Structure formats: C-alpha cells, structure tokens
C-alpha cells in the first residue's frame, strides 16, 4: 500500500542538507604531471622486473612442463620442482601468512613501499600513463586536449591510446589465464582461433579490468577500493620511513625573486610552485602532512628536488624521513639505527620462524600420500579357511615427477595379509586407486574394530614411505 509521503515538518522550515561522506564521487580528473629522478627510475626498474616476471615466467619450462602453473583443471599446482595437490592446502595458507607478515614488516620499516613501486595497480598505471603521454603529451597538453572540441587529430590520439591500452590489457589477460591453463596450448588454440569459451571470457574479463583500473580508475582504486590503504596506518609508528615535507624548513612558503635574500625576507625554502601537487598521482598536497591517500610513490620528492636544484637550495625539502627524525633533526645514521626496534624485531622473528618451518616441512615432505577408505558395502565377510576378509580402497598419490612402483603391506594383527596385488605402479604425479582385500584369522583380534596399519614403500626408494592407520572389523 502506498503511504502518503510525510509532510515536511513545518512549512518554510529550512532543510539542512546532510553532508554525506562521498565515496566514489565523480571527482575531478587528475592530470598527473610526469616526473623524472632517482625514485622515478627506481619505479621503472621495478616495473621492468615485475613485468618481466609476470609476462615471462609462464613461458618457462621445467621438467618438460610449464615451470609455474596452477593447473586448476588437473587440480595440481606446479612450482618449479614442486608439485602441490589440493591436500597441500596447508602450504597455501602458510604462504598467505608469510606474505601478510612480510607486508607488515615492510610497512613498519618503510611505509607503503609496496604501493609505490610494486603494486600491480601502480605498475600498470605507470605503463598506461607512459602510453598516454606518448599519444597525448604531458599534463598541460592533455588538459588542453580534453577541453578542446573533437577534431580528427584528437580522435586519432585518443583512438591510438586506447588501441595500445586494449592491446596491453588483452596481453595481460592472456598471460593471467596462462597461469591457470598451460600457456603453450593456450597460445596454440589462440593462433587457431579455437579458444574455449571460458578461456576467452576470462582473458577479456581480466583484460577489461586492467584497462579500466590502469586507464580510468587509477588513484580511485588506492583511495576507495584497496583494503591495505585503509589499514596500513596501524602498522606505522614514529620511526616508519614516510614521504614527508619538512615544514620547519619550507615555511613560510611563498614566491620570491632570486635576487633578494629570502631568508632575510622571512621566507622558508618552499617556493610554492605547486609542482609537488601536480605530479601527485592521487592529487594530494603532501605539504599538509601525511595523508592516507599518499601511496608513497615519491614523485613529489623527485619533483621538489628538481625545483630545489633550480633554486640552488639543498635537496630534500620533501624526502623520506620519519616522524621522530623530523622532530629531532636526525640524520641518516640515526634513522637507520631506529629500523631495529621492538616492532620490527617481532615481525622479523615471527616471519623467519614461519619461513624456516615451511622450508623444513617442504624438504621433509614425502613425495607420496596415501588415503585409506573402507569399502562401505562389504563390512567383513568370512571366506574360505575360516578367515575374515575386509576390503579397502587405497588412494596412492605419487607426488614425484617420475614413475614409481610401490609395495603395499599391512601390519597390526597376527598373520594379517593382503591377498590382492601387492605392487602399485604409478605414473609421474598421479593418483592410483586400488582395491585391497585383507584377510586374517578371526582369533588374531577382538570382536569389532581392530587398529591396523597400511605401509606403502617406494621400490628402489626406501626413504619414501608412508604408514596409514585403518581399522579391521571382526564379526
């Protein structure tokens, strides 16, 4: 039933607009100016390294197969010499814990290093902005172009940019899918236009996401979508390295003529040129202090250093520093000395402990797993000679990348024996299911369930050995 809309409280009463915290508002587009300098070079080095790994690793061969492959169809993960099965999900959990701890540690030491240099969002944005600059020019040219009416030239520039963006996006999508289905088969079916529907779909899906995130969303992803951006603050402390503006040195800011002594005129080192704001990919003014939007990309450091050089002032008005260092006028030595502090030591200790445990576990891991399942249909039956027979299903998983032969035996009751085939042949990295019949004299145990053990040992590899518990039913 439609309700009559309640009348506003009193005619003429002023309605006070509620100011909503606007997330994802249609913000002013940010035209980041390109920078060059030490940190920009570092970022490009990391772009090259991360992308060489991402685009290249999937083509690497190992033992005659793809070196790194999360084969979801076969449900096996290959990581160089290691093969992981769904049963190894424990190691996946450990890997996640290690990554999280490493992130905590890095963040405590040097803030958002990951964001500024290695996060895919930053890396692809950097690549896409480079393409954009190629077609549309730097900040001022781009602003002019966007404001200009549509001409053939504008259309050609925009189309060119998007063509390259889409190409990079699709290549990224293809590579991404290539980590989940063998990339060589993928490439072959692509060449023959025979991609499966789902593969095609995911390539386009991921390609579209890359194009959208790096081309359009950009800083919005960091500001509004990234959970890390929201909680990284809690890992900071006054000794964390962050991008800071030295307000003591810079203020009062202001334009000046090179001819007068600005210090005598009561001015600080900041010439208020606003370049640090123009280069900032998230569009903030670092001179207002540390803000959660700052991804620690150091573009403003590079930019301001150039301004300082031009003015012949010492560099580092904006620099990597810590809250303590700024307050106490510490130099590099004291900052470095404060890297080791209870918080980082604790993170470091936990991290190393887990890494050592995981590596030990991996080296000691048996390349063999056995699951024993009782046959539910036939519990126990009497066979010739008064013996009692139980039937089991043994899943023998050969994790090694070589064919193996395994010997089966059973212990736990006197005279207990396997009467079926006692050798299992398993091809490399495969699971063999065998039905095993076991017989024993009923006098050997008590009525009901008796504990027994299956032993599986690799022939010619005595150290590969697994003992699995099971129960034998006597009527």
Task: Provide the binding-site residues for ligand SF4, judged by CB under 6 A.
Answer: 243, 245, 250, 253, 270-276, 279-282, 284, 286-287, 294-300, 303-304, 307, 317-318
* Omega within 30 of 0 (cis) for the link into 252: yes
Assign 288 to helix, strand or coil.
helix
| Residue showing tokens 């032993």 | 455
Give the per-residue contact string, 83-102, with other proteins (x = CB under 8 A; - = no): ---x--x--x----------
CB of 425 to other proteins, least distance (A): 23
Considering only 126, 136, 199, 219, the residue that binds other proteins (CB under 8 A) is 199
Contact 129, 34 (CB under 8 A): yes
Q: Which stretch binds other proteins (CB under 8 A): 118-126, 196-204, 264-272, 290-298?
A: 196-204
> Using CB distances below 5 to 8 A depending on partner kind, what does residue 15 bind out of ligand SF4, other proteins, none?
other proteins
CB of 46 to other proteins, least distance (A): 25
Altogether, the residues listed in the chain come to a count of 475
- Which two three-digit tokens encode residue 470? 């099971």
**221 CB-near residues (< 8 Å, 6+ apart):** 121, 213
Q: Which is nearer to ligand SF4, 181 or 282 (CB)?
A: 282
Give the per-residue contact string, 48-77, with other proteins (x = CB under 8 A; - = no): ------------------------xx-x--
Contact 115, 243 (CB under 8 A): no
Considering only 79, 225, 434, 466, the residue that binds other proteins (CB under 8 A) is 225
CB of 122 to ligand SF4, least distance (A): 10
Indicate the DSSP class of residue 442: G
What sign for the dihedral angle of Cα 262, 263, 268, 269? Answer: positive
> Using CB distances below 5 to 8 A depending on partner kind, what does residue 183 bind out of other proteins, ligand SF4, none?
none
Strands (E), 241-364: 242-245, 318-321
> Using CB distances below 5 to 8 A depending on partner kind, what does residue 280 bind out of other proteins, ligand SF4, none?
ligand SF4
Q: Which stretch binds other proteins (CB under 8 A): 3-11, 321-329, 343-351, 457-465?
A: 3-11
CB of 291 to ligand SF4, least distance (A): 7
> Using CB distances below 5 to 8 A depending on partner kind, what does residue 381 bind out of ligand SF4, other proteins, none?
none
Dmax (CA) of the chain = 114
Q: Alpha-carbon distance 449 to 444, whole Å?
A: 12
Instruction: Identify any residues that bridge with 439 across adjacent strands, giving them in sequence order.
Output: 389, 417
**DSSP string covering 395-410, please?**
EEEE-SSS-EEEEEEE
Closest-CA residue to 339 (of 330, 352, 327):
330
Assign 94 to helix, strand or coil.
helix
Q: Which is nearer to ligand SF4, 169 or 296 (CB)?
A: 296
Q: Which residues bind other proteins (CB under 8 A)?
A: 5-6, 8, 15-18, 22-26, 72-73, 75, 86, 89, 92, 181, 196, 198-199, 201-202, 224-225, 227
């Amino acid at each position: 039933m439609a309700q009559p809309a309640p009348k506003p409280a009193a005619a003429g009463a002023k309605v006070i607009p509620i100011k909503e915290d606007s997330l994802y508002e249609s913000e002013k587009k940010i035209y980041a100016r390109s920078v060059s300098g030490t940190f920009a070079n570092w970022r490009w080095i990391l772009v090259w390294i991360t992308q060489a790994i991402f685009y290249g690793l999937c083509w690497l061969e190992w033992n005659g197969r793809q070196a790194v492959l999360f084969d979801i169809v076969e449900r096996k993960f290959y990581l160089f010499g290691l093969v992981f099965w769904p049963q190894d999900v424990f190691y996946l959990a450990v890997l996640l814990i290690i990554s999280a701890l490493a992130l905590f540690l890095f963040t405590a030491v040097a803030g958002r290093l990951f964001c500024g240099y290695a996060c895919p969002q930053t890396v692809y944005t950097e690549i896409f902005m480079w393409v954009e600059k190629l077609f549309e020019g730097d900040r001022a040219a781009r602003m002019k172009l966007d404001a200009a009416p549509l001409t053939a030239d504008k259309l050609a520039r925009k189309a060119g940019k998007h063509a390259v963006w889409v190409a990079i996006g699709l290549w990224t999508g293809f590579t991404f899918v290539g980590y989940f289905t063998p990339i060589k088969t993928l490439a072959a079916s692509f060449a023959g236009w025979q991609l499966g529907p789902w593969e095609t779909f995911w390539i386009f899906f991921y390609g579209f996401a890359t194009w959208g995130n790096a081309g359009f969303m950009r800083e919005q992803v960091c500001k509004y979508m990234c959970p890390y951006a929201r909680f990284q603050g809690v890992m900071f402390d006054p000794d964390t390295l962050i991008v800071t503006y030295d307000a003591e040195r810079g203020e009062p800011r202001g334009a000046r003529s090179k001819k007068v002594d600005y210090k005598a005129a009561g001015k600080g080192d900041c010439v208020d040129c606003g370049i640090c704001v123009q280069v900032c990919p998230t569009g903030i003014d670092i001179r207002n202090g540390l803000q959660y939007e700052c991804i620690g990309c150091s573009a403003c450091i590079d930019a301001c250093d150039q301004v300082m050089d031009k003015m012949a002032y010492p560099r580092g008005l904006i620099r990597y520093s810590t809250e303590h260092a700024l307050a106490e006028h510490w130099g590099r030595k004291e900052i470095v000395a404060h890297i080791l502090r209870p918080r980082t030591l604790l993170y470091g200790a936990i991290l190393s402990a887990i890494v050592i445990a995981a590596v030990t576990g991996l080296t000691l891991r048996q390349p063999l797993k056995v699951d024993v399942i009782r046959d539910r249909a036939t519990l126990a039956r009497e066979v010739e000679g008064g013996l009692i027979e139980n039937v089991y299903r043994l899943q023998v998983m050969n994790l090694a990348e070589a064919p193996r032969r395994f010997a089966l035996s059973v212990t736990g009751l006197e005279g207990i024996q396997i009467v079926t085939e006692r050798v299992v042949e398993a091809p490399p990295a495969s699971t063999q299911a065998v039905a095993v019949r076991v017989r024993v004299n009923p006098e050997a145990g008590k009525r009901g369930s008796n504990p027994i053990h299956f032993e599986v040992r690799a022939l010619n590899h005595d150290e590969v050995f697994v003992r699995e518990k099971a129960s034998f039913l006597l009527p």
